[in-house]
Amino acid sequence: MRNLVAFMLALSCCSTLVLTTEVSADEVSPLEVNVSEVLANDRLIDVTDDTAQALSPAQTPDSDLLDHLRLIALAEPSAQRHQWLHILHQGSAAQRLESSDNIYQDIVNFWQQRQVPMRGGVEPLARDEFNPLSDRQKSLAIEPKSNMYLAVMNHVRRMLWLDENADWPVIDPQGLLRRNDGHASIPAIAARLSLLGDFHGAHQGYVLTPALESGLKAFQRRHGLKDDGVIGPKTLSWLNQLPIERARLLAVNFVEQSRYQAQLDDSYLLVNIPAFEMVLVDKGQIVLHSRVIVGKSYRQTPIMSGAISNLVINPTWTVPRRLLRQDVLPHVRKDGRYLAEKQFDVFNYQGQKQLLTAEEWQSLAYTRFPYKLVQRPGEHNSLGRYKFHFNNDKNIYLHDTPTPELFANAERALSSGCIRIEKVAELANWFAVHRVNDKRTWRRLQSSKHKTQWFSLTHSLPVHLVYWTAWVDEHHLAQYRSDIYHRGVQVPIDLVKN
C-alpha cells in the first residue's frame, strides 16, 4: 500500500488494459504541472476488449475534458453541466469551442472550492502560459493533482460505457445459490461477473461451477462481503447495482478523498468507517493496517477529526448514562450479580463507593439508578488493554476489546460508537516508540494488568474518521462498501447520464 485510498487490501482482478492516445514530446506544457510525466505514459483505460473500440479517443472529441466533466457531473450534477456534456459529446466544433472556456472555469472552480490542487497550480487559468496551450494540455492542467485520478476515471468510463451499451436486468434466483447448484439465472450471473471484471473465461450451462465460484468470491471481497461463494441477498444486491450508480459512487468518493488528502499531514491515523479499516501513516508511509469495529447503525461512529493526545494502559471505563440505561441495567435486572461479575464499582455522585447486595442492585435497576459505574481494569474491561484518547464532545476514542473474535466478521458495525482496533498492541507499541514521553514507566507497566496509567505524548497524532464507500485500490481494482449508515444522497440519474 502506497497511497491514501489503497489501505483496504483486496485481490486484483484487472481487465485488459487498452492504450489510448500517444502524445508527442512537443506537447509538453510549460505550466508547473509536470505534464511531461503524464504524457510519457499512455493514458490507460481499464476495459474489456469489447469496449475498447467504443472508447477510442478518435470517436470522442475532447475526450479528456469530456471525461473530467463527466466525473464532476456525477459528483455534483447540474442542468448546465448536463448541457455541456451534450455539447462535448454530440455538438459541433463551433459549439464546443464556444463552451470550452466556461467548462474550464467551472472545473477549476469546482476543485478550488474544495481546496484540491490541480496539475497546473492553484490558478491555472490565470497563468499567461495557459491560453497558448493545446486543448489537450489545457485539459491536463486542470486535472486534480491526484495519483488516483486516471485509475478512477478509467473505472468511471467503463461503468458509463456499460450503462449505455449493456443490458442490466434484475437477477433474482429466489433463494440462495452455492457451488454446484443449478439454476436458470446462473448464465446471467456469469455474464454479470464477466462484465464487472471478476470472472474471466467462458461459462456454459446452468451450474455454479468452481471457476464461477472463484470469480464470485473475488466479487465479494471487493465489496467487503464474506467471501463464501454463496449468492445471498447482499451479494445479489451488489450484482444488481446499475453501472451508473457505481460510476457515481466512485466519482463522489473520489472528490471527497481528494479534498481530504489535500489537508492531511505527513503522519496521521485514519479510520474508514464503512470499510471497517484503519491505517497509520508515518512520514508519508503506511506503517500499520488493521481491521476495526465501528458503531452500530443506531449508535453510529461520527465522521470527525481530532488529535490523539494520550495513551492509557489498563484503562478503567466510566459507563455513559445512555449505555448504562440501554445496556447495563437490563442485565442487572435479570441478575443482580452482574455488576460484581463484570468488575464494576458503583459510586454516588459525591464520589463515595456504594456496597450493596445483589438483590438490592437488582431492585435499584428498575429505578432511575442515581449512581455512576466504573469498570476496573482487567480481562472483563470493555476497553481492553489500551485506550487512545482524543478530546471530543462525543466521547469517542479508540481502544482494545475483550472480544477479539468479532474481527473475523465481514461486517463489523458492532460497537456503541467507539472504535475497537484489532492490531491494538502494534499501534500501542508504535506510540511507545515514537510518541510516549515516559518510556521507562511504559516498559515497567507492560507486566501489569491492573494498574491504570495515562501517558502524555511528545506531540499529538491527527486522527480522522471518514466515510468512504468506493475507491480504486493500489492494484487499480474498484472497491465498494455498503452504506452502513444510509448516508447516501440520491441524485436524479437523468442528470448524470450522458
Please say if the pLDDT value at position 431 is more than 90: yes
pLDDT bracket for residue 329 (50, 70, 90): very high
At 153 the pLDDT is 96
Q: What pLDDT is recorded for position 250?
A: 98
Residues marked as catalytic: 399, 418
Residue 489 has a pLDDT of: 54
pLDDT of residue 51 exceeding 70? no
pLDDT surpasses 70 at 353: yes
Write down the pLDDT at residue 37.
38
Mean pLDDT for the chain overall:
87
Quick one: pLDDT at residue 233? 96
pLDDT of residue 462: 97
Q: Given a cut of 80, is residue 188 above it in pLDDT?
A: yes
In angstroms, rounded to a whole number, what is the distance separating the alpha carbons of residues 114 and 167?
36
Dihedral (CA of 199, 200, 202, 208) sign: negative
Confidence of residue 128 (pLDDT cuts 50, 70, 90): confident
Per-residue pLDDT at 7 exceeds 60: no
8 Å CB contact between 348 and 381 = no
> Does the pLDDT at position 211 exceed 90?
yes
Of 52 and 486, which is predicted with more confidence? 486
Q: Worst-scoring range by mean pLDDT, 22-36, 59-73, 259-273, 286-300?
A: 22-36
- The pLDDT-based confidence of 423 (bands split at 50, 70, 90) is very high
Percent of the chain scored above 90 by pLDDT? Answer: 79
Q: What is the pLDDT of residue 45?
A: 39
